[in-house]
Amino acid sequence: MIREQIFEQPAFIPVFEDYHFFKNKRVGITGGDGVLGGIISKRFVERGIKTTSYPDNITDVASLHKWFGNHNFDFFFHFAAIVPVTDVQNDPLKAYEVNAIGTYYICKEIVKTQSSCWFFIASTSHIYKKQPAVDFGLLKESHQKEPATIYGMTKLLAEQISIPILEHYKISYCISRIFSFTSVRQKEPYLVPTLRRKIESTSENDTLNIVNPDCVRDIIDAETVIDCILHLALNHVKGIINIGSGEGKRIIDIAQHIMKLANKNIQIKGTNKIVPDSLVADVTLLRNILPQKKR
């Protein structure tokens, strides 16, 4: 199957192909209309794997309880969250309610009705303390937690609420701290779709100015993220694990990559409005879990 990816698959992450493992398995999802949830749902459906996506607000306790009570899942993937910076900043109360309290409600229903399933929670690199972009270090799962945004705070709180509950009730769970990702389906205000629009609207040989060009991010394609998650599910991996490439790219390098894909010839410059920082994954644990790519 041809996949349209903006960034090439890192060499150590094999494309997931073992869908026969999920045959006759019951799969539940939140956030099925988002980028990651949409990709995993599409892959399962195309291969005839029964997938059920929760259709309502995850803060609706009565709806959640009724829905979970009608299902018995083997695997459950929790992607639902409020992510865009503008949405979070405009309504922090709702962001805390959905991202933190909503995750608690999901955990509660997993414990009460789905205690034998493998439970996946999508977290984020934004819970980590950022590093200086100069001589940046790779962030291990044990790295200091110091979110710089409200979004990061809501996701850290979700982890802090969930882990003690899931450990106490001996739920088989995996929390993945996903570093930057993009997709052809992703829309603004995320970085890559915003850069794509600006690059496409800039005339040949003109100059595009971007903000904070020297900040460093670990970015992969959403399809690659889903490959990683499915490998984790296949192996019933438990605990906390980073998902990323383990390599840093400056924002200006990302912009130049997109420019090449668009077959444009423009000058890209920028101004750092903050001291350049970095978020790049240490993927040692991920490498040890993933199978070796077939030669």
The pLDDT of 160-188, averaged and rounded, is: 97
pLDDT digits (tens, 9 = 90+) for 237-273: 999 999 999 999 999 999 999 999 999 999 999 999 9
The one-letter amino acid code at 180 reads S
Query: Angle between the 61-69 and 102-113 helix axes, to the nearest 10 degrees?
Result: 30
The model's pLDDT over 119-159, given as tens digits with 9 standing for 90+, comes to 999 999 999 999 999 988 999 999 999 999 999 999 999 99
At 62, which amino acid appears?
Answer: A
User: In order of start, what are the domains of the chain with their CATH numbers?
Assistant: 19-185+219-247+276-289 (3.40.50.720)
Q: What is the pTM of this model?
A: 0.96
- Residue 295 banded pLDDT, cuts 50, 70, 90: very low
Nearest one of 220, 198, 219 to 210, comparing CA atoms = 198
Is the alpha carbon torsion for 98, 31, 241, 143 positive or negative?
negative
Which ranges of 29-145 does DSSP label H, i.e. alpha helix? 35-46, 61-69, 85-90, 92-96, 102-113
**Per-residue pLDDT tens digits for 195-245:** 999 999 999 999 999 999 999 999 999 999 999 999 999 999 999 999 999
* 110 token code pair: 């997993």
